[in-house]
Copies of this chain bind each other. A is one copy, B any other.
Amino acid sequence: MRLFNKVAIVGVGLIGGSIALDIKRKRLANKIIGVSRHRETLSLAYKRKVIDEGSQQIEVVRDADLLILATPVNTILNLAPRIAQNIRRDCIVTDVGSTKEEIVLKLERKFRLFVGSHPLAGSEKRGVVNARPGLFKDSLCILTPTKHTNAKALKKMESLWRQMGAKIFFLKPSVHDRVLSYVSHLPHVVAFSLMKAIPKEFLRFASPSLKGTTRIAASDIELWSDIFLSNSKNINKAIQALEEQLLKIKSAIYKKDRQRLVEVLKAAKSKRELLI
């Protein structure tokens, strides 16, 4: 089902590239143009048939009827004014950023038909080299409409994500950021902190459990700095909530209070079992 004519993707990385591959495989658009600062990214994306055409010039977005912003948050905000001068009036604009409140507020001022999206399908891997069709199948995608969101544009974005196999949720940008600070940003803070806390000379004894717990500490630093800084208040609250739980466990251990310790661990375990 063709939903768009020409799709422009700014930032052809893991997410941007995987969207492109799905759009092609499912024939959801006639043409895909990739925009990147890096010539090598574009030529790799072209060789792997991720995009039909690549350019380092933002002006190529001119004829697109869908524009997908898939660079880190900061880059999106920097590019927005120039993009806004170049797109068609009826071009739907979306992003795939991991925080929403700030970016939705700013981008819906710039773009008439803006719809915020957040596909929860990233990993510690990055780059078009890791892009693959089917990345979004059975993953979650949160759309963050506001009172300014155009209903038709929202509907079209919903169709696009559904065609790629994602399960759609709708959340207000502020609610999105609060939820994500717990289910995604806090685990990253924890993984980074845990790696940092472990003495280097102990790493040769790393068990599978340590590796699993810290896999995401290998994530992209610039991307995650952006995320942490653009959702600072929520993340700091989430860190505090974690610290409270650490304190509970620490104090039960310190007091050798087995009953209390079992109680806390049980509550955690039964919650974890809800996640399959």
Number of residues of chain A lying within 8 A (CB) of chain B: 82
A264-B192, A268-B196 known; A213 vs B210 contact (CB < 8 Å): no
The answer to whether A225 and B261 have CB atoms under 8 Å apart is: yes
Q: How far is the CB of A158 from chain B (nearest CB, A)?
A: 17
CA distance A272 to B214 in the complex (A): 7
What chain B residues lie within 8 Å of A182 (beta carbons)?
197-199, 202
What chain B residues lie within 8 Å of A221 (beta carbons)?
262, 265-266, 269
The answer to whether A197 and B238 have CB atoms under 8 Å apart is: yes
- Copies per assembly: 2
> Interface digits, A236-276 against B, CB 8 Å rule (1 contact, 0 not)?
10110111111011100110101001101111110111111
What chain B residues lie within 8 Å of A258 (beta carbons)?
225, 229
Q: How far is the CB of A240 from chain B (nearest CB, A)?
A: 8
A183-B202, A242-B193 known; A212 vs B209 contact (CB < 8 Å): no
The answer to whether A197 and B244 have CB atoms under 8 Å apart is: yes
The answer to whether A261 and B183 have CB atoms under 8 Å apart is: no
Which among B205, B214, B269 is the interface contact of A192 at CB below 8 angstroms? B269
CA distance A43 to B275 in the complex (A): 32
**A174-216 interface with B by 8 A CB criterion:** 179-180, 182-184, 186-200, 202-203, 205-216
Chain A contacts to B: CB under 8 angstroms: 120-123, 140, 142, 169, 179-180, 182-184, 186-200, 202-203, 205-219, 221-222, 224-225, 228-229, 232, 235-236, 238-239, 241-246, 248-250, 253-254, 256, 258, 261-262, 264-269, 271-276
